[in-house]
């Protein structure tokens, strides 16, 4: 299965960081397996409408951590290294998700009270 990357333009999180986080998540959850080919830098840049340098920066950081391997002339592939999230990384990721959620809700006119009420109702189901 291919990695599906979507950028949130309103989150305030840099695009390269969003790409890194989504690739890491896909590896951690097993939705992509070792050896899976990632889109080329050029193709992903076109798909996401971003500068190729943004994708290149994300891929370079992923490669430096050993999560992907680039083979000249053939592409970038998911490596064999497992993603292990420590408590600090999990907290950072949760903070990012919550911030994106709050920003998106606010852009649609929802208040914190609206969100808390809805979440409370869902928790009681």
Q: Examine residue 109 and state whether it is found in any structural domain, yes or no.
A: yes
Structure confidence at residue 125 (pLDDT): 73
Low-confidence ranges of the chain (pLDDT < 50): none
Question: CA nearest 11: which of 98, 112, 89, 113?
Answer: 98
pTM of the shown model: 0.71
User: 47 CB contacts (<8 Å, ≥6 apart)?
Assistant: 5, 39
CATH of the domain at 72: 1.10.10.10
**Does any domain span residue 102?**
yes
Element (H, E) at 35: none
Same domain, 74 and 94: no
- Are 63 and 100 contained in the same domain? no
Those residues whose C-beta lies under 8 Å from the C-beta of residue 18, and which sit 6 or more positions away, are 5, 7, 8, 11
Q: Tell me, what's the pLDDT at 85?
A: 65
Query: Given this model, what pLDDT does residue 43 score?
Result: 95
Clarify whether residues 64 and 33 are in a common domain. Answer: yes
pLDDT of residue 123: 81
Q: Do 74 and 42 belong to one domain?
A: yes
CB of 48 within 8 A of CB of 15? yes
Percent of the chain having pLDDT more than 90?
A: 49
**Domain that residue 61 falls in:** 15-78
Average pLDDT in the chain: 89
Contact (CB, 8 A) for 87 and 95: no
């Amino acid at each position: 299965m291919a990695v599906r990357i979507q950028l949130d333009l309103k989150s305030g999180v840099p695009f390269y960081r969003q790409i890194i986080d989504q690739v890491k998540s896909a590896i951690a959850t097993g939705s992509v397996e070792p050896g899976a080919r990632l889109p080329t830098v050029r193709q992903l840049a076109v798909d996401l409408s971003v500068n190729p340098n943004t994708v290149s920066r994300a891929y370079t950081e992923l490669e430096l951590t050993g999560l992907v391997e680039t083979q000249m002339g053939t592409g970038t592939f998911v490596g064999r290294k497992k993603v292990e999230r420590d408590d600090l990384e999990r907290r950072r990721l949760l903070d990012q998700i919550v911030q994106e959620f709050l920003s998106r809700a606010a852009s649609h006119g929802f208040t914190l009270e609206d969100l808390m009420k809805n979440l409370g109702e869902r928790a009681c189901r």
